[in-house]
Structures are given as C-alpha cells and as structure tokens.
Structure 1
Amino acid sequence: MTRFPVRRLLALALASTLASTYGLPALAQTVEPFTVRDIRIDGLQRIAAGTVFTYLPVERGEVMNQVEAGDTIRALYRTGFFEDVRLERQGDILVVTVVERPAINKLTVNGNKDIKSDDLLKGLQDIGLAEGETFDRLSLDRVTQELNRQYNNRGKYNVQITPSVSQLDRNRVDVTIDIKEGKAAKIRHVNLIGSENFQNEDILDTWESRASTWMSWYRRDDQYSKEKLSGDMEKLNSWYLDRGYIDFNIDSTQVSISPDKRDMYLTASITEGEIYTISEIKVTGDTILPQEQVERMVIPKPGNTFSRALLEITSDGITNTLSNIGYAFARVNPVPTPNREDRTVAINLQVLPGPRVNVRRILFKGNTRTSDEVLRREMRQFENSWYSQAAIDRSKIRLQRLGYFETVEVETPAVPGTGDQVDVVYNVKETTSGSFVFGLGYSQLAGMTTSIQLSQNNFLGGGNRVSVEAQRSDYLQRYAFSYINPFFTDEGMSLGYNLWWRELDYSDFNTAQYNSTNAAAQAVLGLPITENSTISLLFGIDSNQIQTYSGYTPAAIVDYVHAIGRRTFHAWRSELGWARDTRNDFFMPTRGTYQRVGLETTLPGSTVEYYKLNYEVSRYWRLSPAFVLRTGLDLGYGDSYGNDIVRDICWTMPTQENPTPGASNPCLTTSPDYTRTVTATGLPFFENFYAGGTRSVRGFRDNTLGPRSEALGGYRGQPLGGSLKTVGQIEMVFPKLFDSKAARVSAFVDFGNVYSGTDDFDAGELRASAGVALLWRAPVGPISISYAYPFKKKEGDEIERLQFTFGGGF
C-alpha cells in the first residue's frame, strides 16, 4: 500500500470540503504543481478583470499547487462577487473561470404596515440587499429570519415572509419580499403571583402590557412585545422599591401563547419582602456648592419609608444644579446600606462632579432652508462659555416654538482629545412654515371669484414673517400686505407693518347687511421683557366707510350712522399688549401656558372714541403619553369712553320733486313729517365681537350667536354681535393616533356666546357643543375639519355640524 504524505492527505481533504461546499468539479481539486506563466479570467460580465487580480493570492512566475489552488478559490468566494469559481490549466496558463452573482435590478417590499418601508429598505441596504448590489441568497435568508423576529417582538406570530427572486437578462434579478403581517396576538390576562399587600389592578395600572379592554384600540397596550415586557418588569421593581420593599425580587416571568397564536397570557411570580425605613442619609464627595445648600436638596429624611423614586429625584436635582454651572458629567451615586435585623437602611449620596465643561461650538444640522443665524439667535447656551443644561434645554424649546421644525433633537458629543469640552449639536427636521392658497370659481351669488394668498413665517429662511393677499369677487375685494421682523435689533425687538384695503359685503359673512370699505396702515413694535414674556405696541391710522341699505340694514346700525352724522369713520388707533408663552412646542404642545392681554383704543380726535379689551389663555396638561388636555378661555369687552352722541333726525314724505326722500341729518327741513332722536353710544357696531364657527363655538354657523336685530318682513333678525364675548374650550388631544407631528386629532367641548353688554350677561344663554376635530399641517397650509353636536342650543340657532377651513392658522 502506497503511503501519501501528510500534506497530500490534507490537500485532498480540503479538496473534498471545497467540492461539497461549492460544488467544484474534479478538475479544480487535483492540481499538479506548475509555474504560472500567465493568468486568464473567463466569465466576467460586470466586474473588471483588474478587480479580480487584486484578490488573487497567486501571481505570474509563482508555483501553483494544491494549497495555492484552495487559497485562490477561497479568496475569490470571500469577495461575494461569484457563485461559482473553477481553476483550470492550459499549458502554463492558469485559467480562472467564474460565474458572477446576479445584480439586484429592483427590490420590492409589499404588505408591510408596522415597519415603515423607508426603515425597512434602509435595514436591507445595511446588509447589502439593495438595488444595484450583488445578490446573495444567504443575505435574503437572514432578512427573512430578522423580519420574523421583529414581527414576533410586536406580537405578530402569524406573520408570513415570502421572498421571491425573478431572473432577468444580463445576469440581473428582481427581488420581491411579500409580507402578510396578520393580526397581533392580544394579551388576554396578566397575572401576578405573590402580591399580598397591593391589588394587582393598582400595580398593573402603569404597565404598557395590559389585558385587552375597549380602549386598547387606541392605547395599543394589549399588544405583546418583548421590549414592553422588559420595561414593565422594571416598573414592577420600581413599584415596590418606591414603597420601601428593598428585598423585593421577581422570581420568574412566563409568556404563554394559545395554539392559534392569537391570545397571550403573562405571568410574573414575585417575593415582596419587608418594608424598610431610612435610618440615616448623608451627602459625601466633592459637592462644589456649599454642603448645606446641597443637603437642602435632599428630599428623603431619616425615619421616612425608603423610596427609590425620591432618591432619584434628589440625585437628579443635585446633578441638574451642577450641570447648570458647567459640570456636565456630574453624577450622584446613592449607596444604600441595609440592616435586615431592624429593617432600616442608611444612605450615602456620593457626589462625583467630574471636570467643569466648556462648550466649544454650537452646530445645527438639517436646516436646509433656515439660516444658521435664525437658529443661533434663539440660543441661551453660548459658545466658549460654561456648559448649562438648563440653557441647552431652553434653547431647544425656543427652537420648537418657532414653528419652523417638525422635530428638534440635541446632542452634546465630547470634543476628541479633551475631557473638559463638548460641542452642542441641534438636529432639526424642517417643516412647512407657510401657506399658499389660490382659488378660481363662479357662482350665481358671488359671480367670478379669484383669490391668491401667500403667507410665510420664515421668509427666505431669514425668520421674517411676510403675508400677501389679493381676493376679488362680487361681494369682497381685499388687498393686504404684512411684514414682521422678529429680530429688528440684536436684543430681540421686533418691528412690523400692516397695510390693507378691503371692500366687503357683511351679509355674506352671516352678519348684519351693510357694506364696509376699509383702509389701514399700522406699525407694530414688540419688546421682550423676560425669557417668556413680551409687550407689544401698535399704532396706526385707518378709515372705514359704511354703506347701509334701506329696509335691509338693521335699524340699530342705521341709527348709529345717522347719530354720527357721517358714513366714513376715521381713527387714530393704538394697542398695548402683553403676552406670556411657556409652551414647549409650536404646533403640538404637551405642557405650558399661553396667555395674552390686549388693550386697543382709538385716540382723541377719532370719529368715534372707544376701547376694546381682550384676554385669551390656553393651558396644556400632559395627562399621559396618550392624552394631552387643553383648556382655553377667550374674553373680550369694549365700550366708548367719550360722551354719547345724540342727534335729531327728520323724515319727510315722498314728493314729486323728491321721490326718494330719507333722513336728513342734521334736521334742516322747516316742516318735517316727523322727527326722531338717535344716539350713538357704546362700542361701534363694526367693532362688535362675534361667536360661533370653527374658531370659537364649533357646531354653530360662523358669527351667528348673540344678539340679533328685529325680524323684518317675515325674515329672522340679523346677527349684530356684541360688546362682551365669552368663549371657552376643553379639548382632549390624542397625540398617538398619528406618528407625525403634522397632524393631530382631538375631542372637544366648546361653549360661549356674545352679549350686548355686561348687564346683559346670562350664563343660561351660553351655547355649548361637543365633537371631534382633525388639524393637519398640509404642505400648502393648515387644514381644519371638525364635526360637532350642539347639546346646549335654543330654537332659532343656526346649526352647522361639519365645518372645514383651509389655509388659515390653527
């Protein structure tokens, strides 16, 4: 029997392995040693020969043997470019024959809902499965396994992932991944074994994993996921540690699923232990601040029941205080020392301040339209100054309140090579900050109607607010321009201008029938007085020409015009306002308050001397991640401050010489048919407040609530408005119904009315409605849709349950 050398045996074993792994022909496994004089590559289609040569471990002039052949085959397979590699010899020429793996021509994913397509395709690209890349079936198998795992973590155990590959010409393939997500398995029961001192319902109330209820369609708390259960176990641990149970332990957790994979049952077995009280609590370490000041921040006291939550609040308070004076990496480590004999625990709060940190740079990312200067002027953290967490957080809120960005995130990476410097990076995602409305139509009532309106709160990315409007129809002509520079000075003083001209038939706006022609020019100045408060001053001049219609315009309006003795009202107007805004976001606030007080008055020398006082307030309460409560109130009152104007007007009967007689003011006729005294008092009718509609009490037609004129000719009276307005809202916002911050859904209760004056106020006359609303920040402007049911109304109220607005502000 002939004995083979050991090296020869190993080579044959390797050849056998390669043959079984790669399906290589026998010619590739039995290579007699020879000197390679040349190398030829056959079978290439897309890959250049030079690329293959860079991976070959053998070169011209070297000896090719069995070991070198194995190394060559392995090296080429490791590139991932080929699905078959063969080595042949033609004389002293080494022939490498390859079969390229196909390129992915098109990658399609169908049926995915829980996982967004963009996120899914990005994940596929990370593992090399993307259009234009080389196709690897092993990668496709890994994708299938990973998708199954992710859907299982979302509670969908019936998911079916079906990949398919279609061969195309020129060595290309189309890859399709069909997903049938199925329905998520619902949690039917959650059981705690060992909870003796508390009701299971109280403990489970804070869990994200809960048994299915009628509210689960919104909260989605009946869908199992491994991550949610891990978080709930931490909440369970915190529940007992916050109540003094230091020896609490979770003995086991069990997740069971029904045979049809539709129902799930969660069980946790626990040991509660005993309650511990605090015997001693002290602060040690380098406190930076005076020891007494830091000790005053400690909430738990000796004799109190141990609470991890209070310790965390104390630690956070100390670290936040230190981070606001530059110690960005400060830590407080609570070290408990339990005494199990007397059920007490001594606590040592170790303060580790770390180095004092300086902010090197402040950077902005994602602001493709908005200039850096607009963002930088909102900063309360400055470069080359000590780090302050409060200033960084405040800067983030100010950016959110601009209304230019959908999201704002902040990072504080350390500067490489230093231990006491960081950069502050704000990552923003821009959104629409304006609206464009264009309309063209025709109706028998209004005739041809054209309108164009452009408003931009971030004009050319410079942060200035510009609005231009032109509208024309048979009942309305309006041309307006406004401009505001919120940072006219570096200190934050704003300056703006308003110009408009308008001719309007009010009868088409659900108000009294008269025409008004307005023109105004105004200047607005704003000045910040605190971080959250500003005062504003408006000064302008305007004119308002009124045209009434005999037999149609209410007598109260006609008498007011006659008492004044002219139809054109001129006014020097001023307004002083104060506003405070602590909301944490412009479009979707979850906490904070906005309130504004404004006093508008015409100056002496105006045709009519009057004032208007407005107060509005909105408060946001975050009840839970799924619910935000908003309460709002809008009050307004106005009156004249000059003397009442009293005049006698004379009326004559028609004659042949004067076939269309009317009131003569003043009374110059020597023998009038009758004389009547009229008075102009109170707030002018064209400045009255109105209620009803999408921006006050929804469910009632715009401007139809409040006082009305006397009925004429069988027709009901016309809305007159009033000098006293009371409107309020209670609204529950559901932020989880949409993942995008560009839309929100809410349920609301509106109430309010307007009155002729304070003496006429009657709470029994308030109207109220309840309903749901959708607010969507569309690319061309905000859209509001509401459906309301008036549950407190009276006969004669004009009801409009479905209401829609487009292009206005929210």
Structure 2
Amino acid sequence: MKKQLSRFRVRTVSAVAAMAMAASTAWAVDPFTIRDIRVEGLQRVEPGTIFASLPVRVGDVYNDDKGTAAIRTLFGLGLFTDVRLEVNGSVLVVIVEERPTVNEVDFVGTKEFEKDALKKSLRDIGLTDGRPFDKALADRAEQELKRQYINRSLYAVEVVTTVTPIERNRVNVTFTVVEGEPSKITEVRVVGNKAFSESTLTGLFDLDTGGWMSWYTKSDRYSRTKLNADLETLRSYYLTRGYLEFRIDSTQVALSPDKQGISITVNVTEGERYVVSGVKLEGNYLGRDDEFKSLITIKPGEAYNADQVSETVKAFSDYFGNFGFAFARVEARPEIDRTTNRVAFVLQAEPARRVYVRRVNVAGNSRTRDEVVRREFRQFESSWYDGDKIKLSRDRVDRLGYFREVGIETQEVPGAPDQVDVNVTVEEKPTGSLTLGAGFSNAEKLALSFGIKQENAFGSGNYLGVDINTSKYNRTYVFSTTDPYFTNDGVSRTVDLYHRTTRPYYAVDGDYALVTSGASLRFGVPFSETDTVFFGGGVERTTIEPGTNMPQVYQTYVNQFGETSTSVPLTIGWARDDRDSSLVPTRGRYQRVNAEWGIGGDTRYIKANYQFQQYVPLNKQFTLAFNSEVGWGKGMGGRPYPVFKNFYSGGLGSVRGFEQSSIGTKDAITQAAIGGSRKFTLNSEVIAPLPGAGNDRTLRMFGFVDVGSVWGENDPINADSLRASVGVGISWISPLGPLRIAFANPIRKLPGDRIQRFQFQIGTSF
C-alpha cells in the first residue's frame, strides 16, 4: 500500500467507551512499525509518566490491540478526561486532555467540625490540594462529609458542592454545609428483661435521653461506637451476675420522620442464672499445678462471673509467659447442667513452644525519641519472653504521661517459630501545660498564679518548668528542670532556681517582707518499680526586710541573727505512687516523705513533711478520696527554728474556706499569720458524676470536709485549735489542666480568722 497520511482517532468520555471504539474495525489501521512517539496536551503531568505507562515502545509493531491497551492504561492513571491516538505516517501521536487540578478545598457553614479535620477526612479519600479532580470524587467527598455529620447525630445535614474553574486548568472546590439541628435520643428501651428493671439497665448506658448538662456531655447524641460500648456494658452486667447464656437478640435504631428524634430498642434474652459447681485443670501445666491453682479466681458455690473466668484465663496465659511460653493456649470450657442450673469449668492448657524476643519495635512516636520509650522497657531483646516484664514495661511507658494510648502486640517472626517481635505503638499527646490560679478575698481582691511546664521537652523525656505568682503578698519566680535518666540506671537529676517575696496580708507601702533566693540540686534513685528515694542539697539566702507591721517574732530573729541568713540545707525523701491515674484517680495510694536538714550557714534546723493520699472506689461512679499531710520542724544546735521556714495552712491544698496561709498563730500586735513549726491537714472528698453529665469522668462534682491547723514550737497541740470547713465543688479536666472550683463554709473557726469562701485553681489535685 502506498505510504500516505493515515489518521486513527479514538475519542471517549470513559475508559469503557474508549476500549469499545478502539476495538471497532471502522477505526482500524494497518499494523506498522513505530518510528517515534509524540505526546500532546500535557500541562502538569510529566511526559515520562505517559511513556512509562504505554505498552508500546519505539521499534514495536503497532496494531489495534495495542492501541486498545494503550488507551485503557492511560485512562487507568486517573489523570485524564480524554485520550486520543493519532497515526501520522509511522509516528504515534498521543493526545490527552488532563483532568483539572484541585487548587483549594474550602467549607462554608461548618460549625460542628474544624475545617482542618474535614480537610483531613477528604484527603484520605483523595480530594486535596494539588490532586486531579473529577465529579465522582466530589460525590464521594459529599458522602464522606455527610457520614462525618451523621456520626455527630446531625442527620438533617445538607451538603452542596460548588466547583469553580480558574486559570491553568485548576478548580476551587467549595462545600456549602447546612448542618441543621442535631438529632437527639428521645427513648432508650430494653425489652425482654426480667431479673433487672429497665431503669437499672438503661442507667448503665452512656447514651441517654439527656439532661441539663447534655450540651457538654452530648450523651443524647447517637453514636454507633457509643452504643456498641453500652451493649458491651449491658452484656458484662449480666455475665458477671450468673447469666451464662445471656444474649442480645437485636438492636433497633429508629429515626423520626423529621430526622430530629432517635429511639433505641435493645431486645435481650436473659436465660437462666447459673452457679459454679467446680473447677478442674487439664493439660500441661509444666509441673506447677499448685502454682496455677493459686491463680484461679473462679469461686465454686457462687454465681457464674465472666470477669472471674477471663481473669483466670489471662492470669494463666501471663504466668505461662513468665517461663517464655508467649503463645500458650488456655481455654475455659464450661460443662453446663441445665437441670440444676449449675456449671463446672475445665481449664485446658497447652503451653506450646518457648520463645525469646528478637526485637522491640516502637511506632507512633513522631516527637518523642525512641530511647525515651526503650529505657522504660524491662523486657530486653534477645532474652526469653517474660509476660510480667512485658506488662511492667507497658505500665512504665504509660506512666510517663507522654502518650494518650500505649499498646503492645506480640508478633511471630516468619520462619522462626521460637522468636517473636514486640511491637509498641504509642499515640502522643501534648505534654506542655499552662497552670493558672486565682483567689478572691477582701485582702488581695484577685491574686493570680501562672506557670508553664513541659513534661517532655523536645521529645527528650526531660522536664522544664517555670512558675510565676503575681500575688501582691506572695510573689514567686521558680525555674525547674529534671532529667529522669541522668544516669543509665535511671537516677534522675533535678535543678531548681527560685526567688520568693512574701508580704503580710493587708500590706501597705513600707511593710516588711521576706525575700528568699536559692538553688538546689536533687537526685532520685529508683529502689523498686514503685519506690524512689530522693536526696540532694542547696544554698539559699533569706532576707527579712524591716518595715511597719513586722511581727515580734521576726523582729526578735533580726535582733538576734541579723536581717540576712544563709542556709545550706540537705534534703532526703521517698515517694511511692500506685494510683490508677494522676489526673482522675479512682483507686490507689500515693505517699511522699521529705526531710530537710540545715547543716551550714547561719541556721541549724530539721524539717520533715509526710503526705498520704488514698482513693477508694465505691462503685463505677462514686469515689471516696482522702488526703493527709503532717509537718514538723525543730531548731538544732541550740538555735531556734528559723521563722521563715514555718509551715502555713489555709486555702487551696489545705483547709479550704480560709484565706491562703492565714490559719495559725497570729502576732499579738499586727494580727499577721506567722505560721508554725508543726502542721496537720486532713481532707476527705466524695467524688460523684455531675448531675446530667452521665458517666463522664472529665466533669465531676465533689463534696468535701477539711480539717487542719499549724502550731508554733511552744503552742499546745489540741483539737480546740483545729479549723474545719465543708463545701462542694466541681472538677473539670480542661484543655489547660485539671480545674477545681470550690465553695467552702468554715464550720469551725477562731476569732481573727480570715474567710475566703470561693476559690478556684487549675493544675492542682486536692
């Protein structure tokens, strides 16, 4: 055939049409050898992308099948709205029309979500700045946005997409959202229950029909995740009370025609209540049957309790892990006697094979350094797997306080049946905190305190803190830093620099002041996983600046030892903390002892302080909390106890309802509180959910009783000098830290005591 210009055009609106047209014999061309390939129509896509994707190369023989394959491949890239092939002699010309590129994604009318959160959700489905755009992607984005809103019970949401073309084949995509009112739960029903009342069962749910605090807790907003959690709570309630065959038959969630009301109905079958008749062991227990029997928490003669069964199985698995058997199989097999409603359990165990840990992997720590996590691990690489050490390692990483969640998984090593990898996954949280405090009184009006703390500075695990108190009467500047692993053995080092100025209440210009400046160095030595001993020393300089209204004890000290005193105190202390949470504790105990010994300079004294906290869970919602503190000081070497080392009481952290540091001995002339060398404080609280807040632990109320006082070295210690107060308060885990608001009424006070009924502070516990 005589060589001439031959054109082969295939124009499509979809990949399917393109392939059909390419296969049509009406557009067929005779096969030829490709001498060159030319690409036209590109704007942003690199030519190399086309050449790398084409199934033909220069020198290949072109035919209709290869043309169909080329069109299919180029459409499959998702970058083009149109693809054409033209043949010019022996040159194959690829003509493409690029999809528009997304220039910007914006939202109008969004109040429920931050725009950044919505952009992230759309980025996950492929719609984001710089990516190709098509209508199908916009439709998927609309559905994703609606899904996000439906998860917040905004079922009436409407989303309209506007695509605005701009220069250089780009588009702006705007989603206009009409959120509407949230759908609220109007009814929660449990059907089929006989042993327990419906109100008892629905009271277990976090989802409810709402209360006056629903604006905060959003407990009346339907969420499938929350409902699943509530169903598990319901199931656990029955299974821990003997109902072995309890089941949830179905769950109906109905939306009202106006999309404003939601009703939830849970259908259950309780079954019979079973009593445990016995427990026996079967299988291989490594010759340690008696040791395993001591771990059994299932109690014959009592009602079946699924938690006890789970605890026993877990205890067995963990105990096997202590001997290197990471994949021990433990099964609790029930043998049910329905005629007597009794059940016996057979604990079947097979330890499988012993393994050792090949590698410990850390993931999720984008800011915290690997070594900060690894140095808390007690399970070492290339050593036998130890379940107790794995659990201890996980708890130690969690107690760092740098992560929202800490998870540990054991993964088998392919091709090595005696090896496992331990994968540690963490989710980081902000570790900086801003501390604010204030108190109102006739004396100070408004006293502010301010602090910035970073528990994990630069991801190193080191602590940095700055505390500033702007009170007219207690001005404080403190800088502190702690390196928790000053040595590889876990010895910590803390450096403190401070400057404090204390003035009397009702101070006027010319009144006296105490000015203390100093520095200290402390080390903490871990003696066990829960016990740490601290020791250190420091140097400080205290000046009693003379002025009006100075108490006689200060004037006497100045006359005897001068206005300025230098101290060289040595410190030693001990701490133990096994609370389940430092922010919202519900169980556990905290103890702390500190002793300070002034061995040099112008002073000789000893000062000791002991604090004890106990948290007792009364049930899932109520917690009883106690805090006590005892302080004692005495002068040594024939010298009196320095008055500027006195303990003080009153206000937040001691006896609420009294002005800060106002309780105790008063100067006979000025009536200024001068503190004392001995101190006692006792706080008790009952912590409960805030009415209307459901089971939310971040917002709670508490009632309290405080008792305490301070005494001078020559004052008699008796109950008549104790002050006491009662009150109520609210605690909230705010974004700035724990916020506690208290209103106290002194029920035992002495003449001259200064009252401060309303107090609040962020960043304190008691």
Shorter chain as normaliser: what TM range? 0.7 to 0.9
1:754 and 2:709 matched: yes
> Does the 8 Å contact 1:107/1:130 carry over to 2?
yes
Task: Give unpaired runs (5+ residues) of structure 1.
Answer: 1-13, 438-450, 646-679
Distance 1:473 1:488 in 2: 35
Corresponding residue for residue 188 of structure 2: 190
Q: Which of 708, 717, 720 is the aligned partner of 2:674?
A: 720
Aligned twin of 2:325: 327
Structure 1 residues 29 and 233, CA, compared in 2 at 3 Å: closer, same or farther? farther
Report the AA paired with residue 337 of structure 1: E
> Retained in 2: the 8 A contact 1:28–1:88?
no
The whole-number CA distance in structure 1 between the counterparts of 2:25 and 2:394 is 66
Deviation at 1:488, TM superposition (A): 4.8
Cα distance, 1:305 vs. partner? 3.6
Relative to structure 1, is the Cα distance of residues 538 and 96 closer, same or farther in structure 2, using a 3 angstrom cutoff? closer
Pairs within 5 Å for 1:489-504: 489-494=487-492, 504=501
Write the letter of the residue equivalent to 2:260.
R
Q: 2:630 aligns with which of 635, 649, 663?
A: 635
- Structure 2: distance between partners of 1:462 and 1:573: 30
In structure 2, what is the Cα distance between the partners aligned to 1:456 and 1:271?
52
Counterpart Cα distance in 2 of 1:576 and 1:112: 56
- How big is the shift at 1:153? 4.4
**Displacement of 1:624 after TM fit?**
8.4
For the pair 1:592 / 2:588, whether they are aligned, the reply is yes
Q: Name the structure 1 match of 2:155.
A: 157
Q: C-alpha displacement at 1:258, in angstroms?
A: 1.4
Instruction: Give the Å deviation of 1:316.
Output: 1.6
2:644 is aligned, of 663, 666, 686, to 686
Cα distance, 1:19 vs structure 2: 10
Change (3 A) 1:702 1:158: same
**Cα displacement (A) at 1:408:** 4.1
Please report the TM-score for the alignment, with normalisation by the length of structure 1. Answer: 0.76
Asked whether the equivalents of residues 112 and 181 of structure 1 are also in contact (C-alpha less than 8 Å), the reply is: yes
2:352 is aligned to: 354
1:803 CA displacement:
5.3
CA deviation after TM superposition for structure 1 residue 195, in Å: 1.7
Say whether residues 1:554 and 2:551 are aligned partners.
yes
CA distance in 2, matches of 1:399, 1:527: 18
1:374-413 counterparts in 2 under 5 A? 374-405=372-403, 408-413=406-411
* CA drift at 1:689: 1.7
CA contact (8 A) 2:484 2:491 kept: yes
Write the deviation string for residues 128-172 of structure 1: whole angstroms up to 9, x where unpaired.
Answer: 222111112212212322443444344331122222211111111
Structure 1 residue 581 displacement after superposition:
1.7
Out of 419, 422, 431, which is 1:421 matched to? Answer: 419
**1:705 correspondence with 2:663:** yes
Write the distance in 1 (CA, Å) between the matches of 2:465 and 2:147: 52
Deviation at 1:185, TM superposition (A): 2.2
* One-letter identity of the residue aligned with 2:316: I
Aligned partners of 2:171, 2:216: CA distance in 1, in Å?
42
Do the aligned partners of 2:12 and 2:18 also contact (CA within 8 Å) in 1? no
State the match for 1:506 in structure 2. Answer: 503
TM-aligned CA distance change 1:142 to 1:768, over 3 Å:
same
Return the alpha-carbon distance in structure 1 between the equivalents of residues 502 and 196 of structure 2. 68
Confirm or deny: 8 A CA contact 1:689 1:754 kept in the other structure. Answer: no
Tell me whether 293-302 or 384-393 shows the greater mean CA deviation: 293-302
CA distance in 2, matches of 1:459, 1:252: 50
| Amino acid corresponding to residue 688 of structure 1 in structure 2 | N
- Map of 1:650 onto structure 2: none
Instruction: Name 1:206's counterpart in structure 2.
Output: 204
Q: Which runs of 5+ in 2 are unaligned?
A: 1-9, 436-448
1:792 matched to 2:746:
yes
Please tell me whether the aligned partners of residues 693 and 699 of structure 1 are also in contact (alpha carbons under 8 angstroms).
yes
Amino acid at match of 2:648: Y
The residue that corresponds to 1:529 in the other structure is 527
Instruction: Kindly indicate whether residue 306 of structure 2 is the aligned counterpart of residue 311 of structure 1.
Output: no
**Counterparts of 1:628 and 1:161 in 2: how far apart (Å)?**
46
Which range moved further: 338-347 or 313-322?
338-347
Which residue in 1 is equivalent to 2:122? 124
**Counterpart contact for 1:721–1:754, Cα < 8 Å:** no
Segment drifting more, 165-174 vs 54-63: 54-63
Determine helix, strand or coil for the equivalent of 1:766: strand
Residue correspondences, number? 730
Q: 1:628 to 1:430 in 2, by over 3 A?
A: farther
Residues 18 and 72 of structure 2 are in contact (CA less than 8 Å); yes or no, is this contact kept in structure 1?
no
Separation in 2, partners of 1:765, 1:173: 72
* Separation in structure 2 between the aligned mates of residue 432 and residue 150 of structure 1, nearest angstrom: 25
Match of 2:83 in 1: 85
Aligned match of 2:723: 765
Change (3 A) 1:17 1:186: closer
Q: TM-score, normalised by structure 2?
A: 0.80
Q: CA deviation at 1:228?
A: 3.4
Q: How does 1:426-505 map to 2 (within 5 A)?
A: 426-428=424-426, 486-494=484-492, 504=501
- Tell me how far apart the structure 1 counterparts of residues 657 and 160 of structure 2 sit (CA, whole Å): 50
Aligned counterparts of 1:50 and 1:492: Cα–Cα separation in 2: 56
The alignment status of 1:577 with 2:584, answered yes or no, reads: no
Deviation of 1:173 after TM superposition, in Å, equals 1.0
Quote how far apart the aligned CAs of 1:355 are: 2.4
Contact 1:43–1:97, Cα closer than 8 Å, also in 2: yes
Which amino acid letter does the alignment assign opposite residue 634 of structure 1? Answer: E
Alignment partner of 1:179: what SS? strand
Paired AA for residue 195 in structure 1: N
SS of structure 2 residue aligned to 1:385: coil
Measured at CA, do residues 301 and 431 of structure 1 come closer, stay the same or move farther in structure 2, by a change above 3 Å? Answer: closer
Deviation at 1:210, TM superposition (A): 3.1
**Which structure is larger by alpha-carbon Rg, 1 or 2?**
1
Q: Choose from 132, 135, 144 the match for 2:133.
A: 135
Deviation at 1:580, TM superposition (A): 0.9
Question: In the TM superposition, what is the alpha-carbon distance from 1:266 to its structure 2 partner?
Answer: 1.9
What amino acid does structure 2 have at the position aligned with 1:30?
A: A
Deviations 1:700-723 (A, max 9, x none): 5432334333465xxxx3222233
2:15 and 2:738 map into 1 onto residues whose CA distance is 69
The one-letter code sitting in structure 1 at the alignment partner of 2:630 is L
Distance 1:642 1:634 in 2: 27
Q: What is the match of residue 335 of structure 2?
A: 337
Cα 1:138/1:272, change in 2 over 3 Å: same
Q: Secondary structure at the match of 1:507?
A: coil
CA contact (8 A) 2:738 2:765 kept: no
Corresponding residue SS for 1:98: strand
Contact 1:510–1:719 (CA<8 Å) still a contact in 2?
Answer: no
2:611 corresponding residue in structure 1? 616
1:261 to 252, 255, 259: 259
Task: Give 3-state SS (helix, strand or coil) of 2:82's partner.
Answer: strand
Query: Which residue number corresponds to residue 286 of structure 1?
Result: 284
CA contact (8 A) 1:622 1:629 kept: yes
Structure-1 separation of matches of 2:141 and 2:357 = 43
Change (3 A) 1:376 1:192: closer
Instruction: Quote the residue 1:730 is aligned against.
Output: 685
Per-residue CA distance 1:595-632 (angstroms, 9 max, x = gap): 112233445x8766544331223345678898877543
Shift of 1:73: 3.6
Match of 1:107 in 2: 105
Give the Cα–Cα distance (whole angstroms) in 2 for the partners of residues 475 and 791 of structure 1. Answer: 24
Task: In structure 2, give the amino acid aligned to 1:323.
Answer: G
Deviation string 1:165-190 (CA, Å, 9 cap, x unpaired) is 11111111112233344343222222
State how far apart, in whole Å, the 1-side matches of 2:39 and 2:190 are: 68
